[in-house]
Structure 1
Amino acid sequence: MAADDILDLVVIGGGINGAGIVRDAAGRGLRCALVEAGDLGVATSSASTKLIHGGLRYLEFYAFRLVAKALAEREVILSIAPHLSWPLAFILPHEPHLRPRWLLRAGLLLYDNLARRRQVPGSEAFDLRKDAAGPAFRRELSHAFRYWDGWVDDARLVVANVRDAAARGCAVHVRDAVVSARRHEERWELTLASGRQLAARALVNAAGPWAHEVGARVMGLNDAPALSLVQGAHIVTRRVNRSDNAWMLQQPDGRIVFVIPYEGDFSLIGTTETPVGDPAARAIQPAEEQYLLDAVNRSLAKPLGHGDIVHRFAGVRPLVLEAGKGARETTRDWHLVPHEGSAMTVVGGKITTYRLLAEAVLKTLYPKTKPWTATAPLPGGDVPVASGETAQAAFARWLADVVAAHPDYDPAIIRRLARLYGTETEGLLAGGLGEPMGGMFEAELAHMREREWARTADDMLWRRSKMGLHLDAAAKAKVAAWAGG
């Protein structure tokens, strides 16, 4: 293989970590490729609780550095992806038998001040009975706290990073698994399922829950790291949040369950932490579903039943294996495992700090290159920001202008498209949306296929969008027919 054909870096795994790494690498001028066996973000990175947060509960384990780092990154994501993320207020009801009020207040004050806040307010105590959200809760819950974090469309964050990487020269190979990767002289030689051959000076294993398997079987490593695999299950129900606030609900077993306003008409409830063995067999278990219902019903004035559930999903998170620690205590920070021959396995991490993980990887493999992603908007996030204005405020102003400039379109359609495509919405509207498909449009399906590597109806309905929750069976069938199956 000629020297000109040898890449600087190949990354195995198209989740948020792999996507962040290739975006950063391509922007540093490195020749790179991303290889993913399935769709982008198909597993863990489309099945998260969709929060960008410091992790309030991690303060109980004295993980101050991790929390501060994540809180700072919360501001970064809100700035570089204002179309995919936004500030979100959380209500934390006080239950005296679980944690004393003074402890919660002290924790929230610490949370407010561990990192600089520009886009989110500080926390407050309030009377739940006098708040718009109050009627949804049991009357016995009177005292509560409100604090702020952020929400992000996890699957689209992955796609946005990969799109930016591709625009900067990164080769993207989806639905094409690496079947063999071996070190030969000064390079890694890879064979993909399609027969494609790649060669690179450095190789990163970012295969998430499959990282051990990829390291041992595909890369032939003797030091492939052991993983602790934990399934996080979620249910989507009729909307129970009476306001736009999310809830953080304490549980008697010490765990936390979130209830998040979701897709307008629904609430997203999660998550569990159940040890699992095979990530390919991920599926919400009856016991997990019951746990989530019981958890939220402890606080609800009008309980939920199994018939209120409209969707279920589960993702498997690979955590750093820490002997003697359960899932709650295991760190969510990442661990970079170096191997001989300019190779590395990425273990752990969380969606909030994916960009910092990518910087750490590049600092190790290519220390002479410089980081750049902290201030560079992701595709669709390049709204014009006025002096002294936050990106979130600029996005809201830009969106109002787009709605006003297109009076012939339903504003709800424009707002939905803008939350998916950001500033690229203007191009879609200018070119015409084409045939309607019960809520989606031919132009956006073409955009997903031609610019976002979407191939199947599931890609389009559940990862590139969440329209699978909104469309009826006939509309879904129409999308499937358009996608070719």
Structure 2
Amino acid sequence: MTERDDNTIIDLMVIGGGINGAGIARDAAGRGLSVVLCEKDDLAQGTSSRSGKLVHGGLRYLEYYEFRLVREALIEREVLLNSASHIIWPMRFVLPHSPNDRPAWLVRLGLFLYDHLGGRKKLPGTRSLDLRRAPEGAPLQDQYTKGFEYSDCWVDDARLVVLNALDAVEKGATVLTRTACISARRENGLWTVQLRNTRTGLMQTYKARAVVNAAGPWVNDIIGRVAGTNSRRNVRLVKGSHIIVPKFWNGNQAYLVQNHDKRVIFINPYEGDKTLIGTTDIPYDGAPEHVAADESEIEYLLAAVNRYFKEKLRRSDVIESFSGVRPLFDDGKGNPSAVTRDYVFDLDETGGAPLLNVFGGKITTFRKLSEHALQKLAGFFPTMGPDWTAHATLPGGEIANADYVAFTEQLRSLYPWMPRALLNHYGHLYGARTQRIVKDATALSGLGRHFGAQLYEAEVRYLIATEWAETADDVLKRRTKEGLHMTELQKAEFTAWFEAELAKAA
């Protein structure tokens, strides 16, 4: 990388490589704007890889009368399912009814609205369950005799971010990871933006016609310290923690349970043989990069599960925990669970050089948020193209009729030598682009060194060359989840190999 010419003018500088920043960069590049996205860490290293991994309408948001948000999210659920059916797929959720919590009529009403608010087309609707007879009731305690089942979708959150960034680059954008925005100042109707690579120290300067601040939990820091501006809006940081334990029931269904404090907890199948449980909602005022799950949160989640299931989880069952900071728009609500998950924009047009600050948002509505962001800036870019993302696929999502099952059959015919688990791994992560990893290999030996689980050298080299993987964690935690399936020795050996390979290339 060479130092950037100060005289080069771009249309849009996007600060933040989470789902909103990547989505905005993709949308803008697809409209013909020149775009640079900078991210101080790895793509999705913050909140966007630490979610509950759901594309969902937000059933519980109905209690807070967030009907517009739920409707938009339900519509987006199917839009996203069509755009990336390899990393997003339907999941059925079982909601056992406890008479001590929300009354059954209220749950039925909420599920009726959930089925009909968003023009559901592809996903099956709600049904009632007799948990004494239905197989979904088998792992639950005998006292739970009634239940409901409804649909939402699973998503690989970190890959969703990477695919948006990849699509942005393929449409002409520049994506700079490990590159912090250290200063942004208005000068003569333009922004002068200074960037610093956090690994090499390289400084770059861009002139930009507009800046989008999609820094998530750091949005206020960009507004004040970096841009030297003010905003009448504020972000409220709320911590959400999850735990991962071995899967402890049969079937592909997930569970949604109501805890004593009225919060709902998701208990979802994860990575085949594991379970993802979350989330908590706790006000947070620390540094977002230092967030971690507290022991009290872990015990809270374990207690919520143990209230409903026959098999009791213990602290020793927890394989891993993680925590993310949600940058919610501060609407003045006291209860963190009641704070809106909707998004809000603050457009500062001072001096004809706009700064668009993004507050809030959720993974499910990122595409619509991105579209709205570009609509907000349309007056400054009168020649930019129209809305386009609603019917576009993400990289790897070019699957006929978004039929992933049929697609996997095609993969099996292409690679009859490949073990089913590895084929599913490639199919789910890379979809129609699997061939870019496998290339002309005709046996496992053609994929290079095997590091453990489903991780082979061919995939790692693809991630380094194409998807901004610069550390072992980028590969093991975000581009893939193979770190969850490898031994400590395998992870250590892979890290040593990875660092040696990067040193050779330096």
Q: Give me the whole-angstrom Cα distance separating, in 2, the residues matched to 1:414 and 1:92.
A: 32
1:375 match: 391
2:170 match: 167
Q: After superposition, give the CA deviation of every residue in 1:344-371 in whole Å (9 maximum; x if it has no partner).
A: 1100000000001101110011254311
Of 229-238 and 188-197, the range deviating more from structure 2: 188-197
Q: Give me the whole-angstrom Cα distance separating, in 1, the residues matched to 2:248 and 2:386.
A: 46
* 8 Å Cα contact 1:191/1:197 also seen in 2: yes
Q: Give me the whole-angstrom Cα distance separating, in 2, the residues matched to 1:464 and 1:347.
A: 26
The one-letter code sitting in structure 2 at the alignment partner of 1:437 is F
- Given candidates 463, 481, 491, the residue that maps to 1:448 is 463
Normalised by the length of structure 2, the TM-score is: 0.92
Normalised by the length of structure 1, the TM-score is: 0.96
1:274 match: 282
Q: CA offset at residue 479 of structure 1?
A: 2.0
2:261 match: 253
Q: CA offset at residue 426 of structure 1?
A: 2.3
Q: CA offset at residue 2 of structure 1?
A: 8.6
SS at match of 1:431: coil
- Given candidates 188, 193, 198, the residue that maps to 1:190 is 193
* 8 Å Cα contact 1:402/1:426 also seen in 2: no
Q: Give me the whole-angstrom Cα distance separating, in 1, the residues matched to 2:425 and 2:236.
A: 37
Q: CA offset at residue 135 of structure 1?
A: 2.1
> Is 1:34 matched up with 2:37?
yes
Q: CA offset at residue 109 of structure 1?
A: 1.0
Q: After superposition, give the CA deviation of every residue in 1:352-392 in whole Å (9 maximum; x if it has no partner).
A: 0000110111001125431101111100000123xxxxx1x
Identity of aligned residues (%): 44
- Given candidates 284, 292, 295, the residue that maps to 1:283 is 292
* 8 Å Cα contact 2:95/2:148 also seen in 1: yes
Q: CA offset at residue 398 of structure 1?
A: 1.3
SS at match of 1:130: coil
Structure-2 change in CA distance of 1:472 and 1:69 (3 Å): same
The one-letter code sitting in structure 2 at the alignment partner of 1:461 is L
- Given candidates 48, 51, 66, the residue that maps to 1:48 is 51
Q: CA offset at residue 424 of structure 1?
A: 1.1
SS at match of 2:105: helix
1:323 match: 332
2:252 match: 244
Q: Give me the whole-angstrom Cα distance separating, in 2, the residues matched to 1:3 and 1:409.
A: 50
The one-letter code sitting in structure 2 at the alignment partner of 1:430 is K
Structure-2 change in CA distance of 1:210 and 1:2 (3 Å): closer
> Is 1:69 matched up with 2:72?
yes
* 8 Å Cα contact 2:5/2:206 also seen in 1: no
Q: CA offset at residue 4 of structure 1?
A: 7.4
The one-letter code sitting in structure 1 at the alignment partner of 2:56 is H
1:222 match: 230
2:213 match: 205
List, as ranges, runs of 4+ consecutive aligned residues in structure 1 with deviation greater than 3 Å: 1-4
Q: Structure 2 matches for 1:6-405, cutoff 5 A? A: 6-193=9-196, 194-223=202-231, 225-278=233-286, 279-339=288-348, 340=350, 341-367=353-379, 368=382, 369-385=385-401, 391=402, 394-405=403-414
* 8 Å Cα contact 1:66/1:333 also seen in 2: yes
1:475 match: 490
Equivalenced residues, count: 478
Gaps of 5+ in 2: 197-201, 442-446, 501-506
Q: Give me the whole-angstrom Cα distance separating, in 2, the residues matched to 1:364 and 1:318.
A: 21
* 8 Å Cα contact 1:336/1:345 also seen in 2: yes
Structure-2 change in CA distance of 1:204 and 1:224 (3 Å): farther
Q: Give me the whole-angstrom Cα distance separating, in 1, the residues matched to 2:215 and 2:249.
A: 35
Q: CA offset at residue 191 of structure 1?
A: 0.9
Q: CA offset at residue 403 of structure 1?
A: 1.0
Q: CA offset at residue 224 of structure 1?
A: 6.8
Q: Give me the whole-angstrom Cα distance separating, in 2, the residues matched to 1:422 and 1:100.
A: 42
Q: Give me the whole-angstrom Cα distance separating, in 1, the residues matched to 2:296 and 2:230.
A: 37
SS at match of 2:207: strand
Of 365-374 and 169-178, the range deviating more from structure 2: 365-374
Q: Give me the whole-angstrom Cα distance separating, in 1, the residues matched to 2:232 and 2:34.
A: 26
